[in-house]
Amino acid sequence: MFPISAAMLLTAVVLVLLYPMWRRSKTALIVGDEAVLDEERVDLQIEKESLLRALSDLEVDYAQSKVSAVDYNRHKLGYEHRLVQVLDRLDSLAGVGLVPPKSKKSHGKPSGARPLFIGLMGIVVVAGVFGMYQLVYWKIERQQLAAAGEGPAAMPPINPVEMVARLEERLKKNPNDLQGQLMAGRSYTALQRWDDAGKAWRKVLELDERNDAAHYGLAEVLIRTADPNDRKVYQEALDHLDKALINVPQDPSVLWARGVVLIHLERYQEADEAWTEAYKYIPPGTESAEFVKKALQDLRSGRAPLF
């Protein structure tokens, strides 16, 4: 009778442990704070793909002479600066929440008329428990790594247009989603959908009036879409850039954009000061540093760059 009971017990243990591997649950394995981090990882992956796509398109357009050298370097500086921020954040999120909990050890001592048999059954059960837990945690880890874009089970390349469509559906349900609107503004900007980008950035400022990313993003949209003779639009862009600099006074992208606006407003001395400040925060010897240096030389020689 005892062997039958022991066998039934072992079978029950194995079935319980195998259940997570058999079932196909549609419920996410990560909840609470981990769910928020997982969503942030996906959003950052979307933005990374959008920025990479924008940089690739920019290189093609420049090679085909569709954009001037000035526009090429200006856009590249902004895209690369944001890409570095995204990659840094992805690095900081790497591995978060991927440590499985420690399994508990049993300290019970076998007893009864057949201690040797019970001991052997205990070894089998412990081995089964350890093996099944390893398989379960392996499965969870692979799914989490896939969500983070890492490891052999990583997600396939993201289609920015499809991901933006998903983001739009998300924002229809909750238009006051601050992070979603930020993601929309960046994605629309990368895809050069200027009207949509402007609406998204204004919505962000409605939700968070001090958001420096939104002030800079909206200023970029205004610069890209303004009539060269419309001083009112450039003044609005300057106001947004000045507000962004309150939070990020050493951001070279914001300082460069401020200089561009000041050129349009014919305030050349202030443009020189903005670009000189931007040059201080760009790694020396880089293409961006050389570009800003050349722009300053042209400005000081009386050849104000045309944008």
| Cβ within 8 Å of residue 21, ≥6 positions away | 132, 135, 136, 139
Query: Average pLDDT, stretch 165-177?
Result: 92
Q: Tell me the three state secondary structure of residue 111.
A: coil
pLDDT at 60: 65
Query: Average pLDDT, stretch 210-225?
Result: 96
Query: Average pLDDT, stretch 242-270?
Result: 95
pLDDT at residue 155 greater than cutoff 60: no
pLDDT at residue 143 greater than cutoff 90: no
* Residue 137 confidence class, pLDDT cut points 50, 70, 90: very low
What's the length of the chain? 307
| Rounded Cα gap, residues 185 and 179, in angstroms | 10
pTM: 0.56
| Rounded Cα gap, residues 61 and 67, in angstroms | 6
Measured CA distances, 123 to 2, 116, 120, 126 (Å)? 17, 11, 5, 5
Token pair recorded at residue 139: 């499965």
pLDDT at 120: 47
Please give the residue that has the higher pLDDT: either 253 or 11.
Answer: 253
For the chain, the average pLDDT equals: 74
| Rounded Cα gap, residues 30 and 115, in angstroms | 42
Please give the residue that has the higher pLDDT: either 228 or 59.
Answer: 228
* Residue 78 confidence class, pLDDT cut points 50, 70, 90: confident
Contact 140, 25 (CB under 8 A): no
pLDDT at 24: 44
pLDDT at 223: 95
pLDDT at 65: 63
